[in-house]
Amino acid sequence: MVDRRLGVWAGRVADWLPGDDGAAVAYALNTPGKRVRAALVISAYGAAGGDGAGIAEVAAAVETVHAYSLVHDDLPCMDDDDLRRGRPTTHRRFDVRSAVRAGYFLVPVAALVLAAAAEELGLGAATLGRMAAELFSAGGVEGMVGGQWLDLEAEQRQLDLPELVAVHRGKTGALIAASCALGGLAAEAPADAIAALSAYGADVGLAFQIADDVLDVTATSDQLGKTAGRDEALQKSTYVQLLGVDGARREASALARRAVHQLACAGLESSALATLADYIVTRQS
């Protein structure tokens, strides 16, 4: 459902922006990701009692922000990578100029997708405003941008555990927590349910990045669809460095268990969210 919607937006953008710029945006939107954030939005919405098909458009808005972050993360001035989602990174497939522009262009596209989602779900301006604040503050300096900035600033320096938690919660955890909160907001759930979904998301978000640290040393580039061993090459601090592979795996599993427990304590039992928490720490790609 979400892939289809991303494909529609990719087509619109390619019409608006002729040439390589539009093609680069379409390429970034159409590449086949795992759509974990999309699955979290849709499952959180269901857990909060929502039942509108338009939630897939909310999920597409989150995946659009995520797609931009991957394009820019792979640039030579950031993690400088050649492979993403089993394909050449956007700046390798096109060039740095088009990839930089494509990334920036995707941010207002995400806002348009979110607005279209609110209209489809029949949500009012106040709810759309809360959803936009949730998505773009998670994507901003208090979240993803801030975490990425810390991550880049800390290359070649050994971070301690609290510093590493701040990097991981920001660059990866914030958008994942927002995915869950957005599901609750779109269902117009009570504040305590939204807080519980957000707390679940924050824990699985940190667990997701810990699992990523583990996979970077245990999986192959073929399995990951991106270059394995990149953290060591870039001299990044990781959970594996601080706790070892087994210690990092234990920490990720404990966070996933706590995430599900927190939901149960708030009266939000969801087999989909429990399955996703488990998948996030046992995935092989």
Q: Which of 90, 209, 237, 238 binds ligand GRG (CB under 6 A)?
A: 209
What's the distance, CA 192 to chain centroid? 23
Total residues in contact with ligand GRG, by rule CB under 6 A: 18
Shortest Å, Cβ 145 to ligand GRG: 5
What Rg value do the Cα atoms of the chain yield, rounded?
A: 18
Give the residue carrying structure tokens 């029949």: 122
Q: Which amino acid is at 143?
A: G
Residue 164, CA distances (Å) to 37, 147, 208, 267, 279 in order:
22, 10, 14, 31, 23
Instruction: Answer yes or no whether residue 73 interacts with ligand GRG by CB under 6 A.
Output: yes
Nearest to 43 by CA among 181, 138, 202: 181
Q: Is 141 in the site for ligand GRG (CB under 6 A)?
A: no
Residues 32-71, one symbol each (x = binds ligand GRG by CB under 6 A, - = not), give: -xx-x-----------------------------x--xx-
Q: Does 179 bind ligand GRG (CB under 6 A)?
A: no
- Span near ligand GRG by CB under 6 A; candidates 11-19, 72-80, 177-185, 237-245: 72-80
In the complex with ligand GRG, the residue whose CB is nearer, 123 or 201, is 201
Helices (H) and strands (E) in the chain, counts: 15, 2
Cβ-contact 262, 203 below 8 angstroms: yes
Chain residues binding ligand GRG by CB under 6 A are 33-34, 36, 66, 69-70, 72-73, 78, 85, 144-145, 148-149, 171-172, 209, 212
